[in-house]
């Protein structure tokens, strides 16, 4: 039996320069969120990514009894919330690019155990923290800037994207682009969803995958806001399985090279999700929900240098969204 890798803080370490850029990102996120009502033409402040909520489902997470590390969860049955979203920074209406998010919140006795932001593409073309920080800061500032500022930020955005080309051309990334293109028109509830980065599971390192059970396609499948609600009315439930991959070797399962698939690491079933009700998605209580993975219990915290950038961004977005207009 192979030995699983264990967590070490060195996997998260950022340089002094990276921390300085992270502070700039914090300011740009706050500015974007403050101005988001005008940017998206809505009467409330939005998130600075995945702004559009298609649906919020409520249900349960049931941990498999034979899962060897079930002890990291406080209970075998937990409350679960699922926010289904579009990755665009602005609110989108009608049919849009099929870049979807499944943000999963697990709770026990009213307390958050874990938030897992998942997306329908398993890889990420940014490994360089400085490049990604500059890109994300420029994207936030682009929407808030005057014309000359937009040009300056557009140059930064283009430069940052160009730097990703070697990783996009990696065989693993190209393979997943092909697979994504084949399923891009699939119903939002029938696609699989992945953690972009790594999480602790106890003291081990894992990636997470959510795989829906058999899903019947409904009418208006290309319009998630309509089709998810229609599906839940017609069938009354949405179910899925949660799997993890363990890291055994950083060469085969790299933590900080997010453009590469993990090799030689099977998916192991962790538990089942059963969602049976739909919440009013734009109610203030739902719109202000936080899915910050750094609110997770210690044994389920994010791992990796790119993952660390989420901590400031989620906090800045949440705090600003909770400030009265």
Q: What fold does the segment set 9-321 form as a domain? A: Catalase HpII,  Chain A, domain 1 (2.40.180)
Query: What SS3 class is residue 1?
Result: coil
Say yes or no to pLDDT of 248 above 90.
Answer: yes
Residues 6+ apart with CB under 8 A from 37: 43, 44, 45, 46, 325
Percentage of the chain beyond pLDDT 90 is 85
Q: What is the mean pLDDT of the chain?
A: 94
Determine contact, residues 25/54, Cβ cutoff 8 Å: no
For the residues 303-317, what does the mean pLDDT come to? 92
Helix count and strand count (H, E) for the chain: 8, 10
3-state helix, strand, coil in the chain (%, to 5): 40, 25, 40
- Which has the closest alpha carbon to 256: 316, 312, 205? 205
pTM above 0.85, yes or no: yes
Determine contact, residues 9/289, Cβ cutoff 8 Å: no
Q: Residue 324: what pLDDT? A: 82
Q: Where are the alpha helices (DSSP H) in the chain?
A: 16-40, 129-144, 147-162, 165-168, 171-183, 224-235, 284-287, 305-321
| Beta strand segments in 52-97, E | 52-63, 77-86
Which tens digits make up the pLDDT trace of 25-34?
A: 999 999 999 9
Q: Residue 228: what pLDDT? A: 93
User: In 10 A of CB 322, how many CB atoms?
Assistant: 11
For the residues 12-41, what does the mean pLDDT come to? 95
Determine contact, residues 240/210, Cβ cutoff 8 Å: yes
Spatial distance between the Cα atoms of 126 and 65, rounded to a whole number of angstroms = 37
Q: Residue 287: what pLDDT? A: 82
């Amino acid at each position: 039996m192979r030995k699983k890798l264990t967590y070490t803080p060195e996997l998260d370490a950022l340089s002094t320069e990276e921390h300085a850029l992270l502070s700039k990102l914090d300011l740009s996120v706050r500015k974007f969120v403050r101005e988001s009502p005008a940017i998206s033409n809505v009467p409330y402040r939005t998130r600075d990514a995945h702004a559009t909520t298609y649906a919020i489902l409520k249900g349960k997470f049931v941990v498999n009894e034979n899962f060897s590390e079930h002890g990291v969860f406080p209970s075998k049955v937990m409350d679960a919330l699922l926010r289904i979203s579009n990755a665009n920074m602005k609110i989108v209406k009608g049919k849009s690019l099929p870049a979807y998010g499944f943000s999963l919140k697990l709770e026990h006795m009213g307390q958050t155990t874990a938030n897992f932001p998942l997306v329908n593409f398993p890889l990420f073309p940014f490994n360089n923290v400085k490049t990604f920080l500059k890109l994300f800061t420029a994207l936030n500032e682009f929407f808030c800037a005057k014309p000359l500022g937009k040009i300056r930020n557009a140059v930064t955005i283009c430069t940052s994207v160009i730097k990703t080309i070697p990783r996009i051309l990696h065989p693993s990334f190209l393979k997943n682009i092909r697979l994504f293109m084949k399923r891009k028109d699939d119903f939002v509830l029938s696609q699989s969803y992945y953690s972009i980065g790594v999480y602790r599971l106890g003291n081990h390192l894992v990636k997470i995958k959510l795989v829906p059970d058999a899903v019947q396609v409904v009418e208006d499948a290309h319009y998630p806001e309509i089709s998810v609600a229609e599906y839940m009315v017609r069938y009354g439930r949405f179910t899925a399985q949660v799997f993890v991959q363990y890291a055994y070797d950083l060469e085969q399962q790299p933590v900080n090279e997010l453009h590469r698939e993990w090799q030689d690491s099977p998916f192991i079933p962790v538990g089942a999700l059963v969602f049976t009700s739909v919440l009013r998605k734009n109610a203030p209580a739902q719109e202000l929900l936080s899915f910050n993975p750094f609110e997770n219990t210690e044994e389920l915290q994010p791992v990796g240098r790119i993952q660390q950038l989420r901590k400031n961004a989620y906090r800045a977005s949440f705090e600003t969204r909770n400030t009265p207009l």
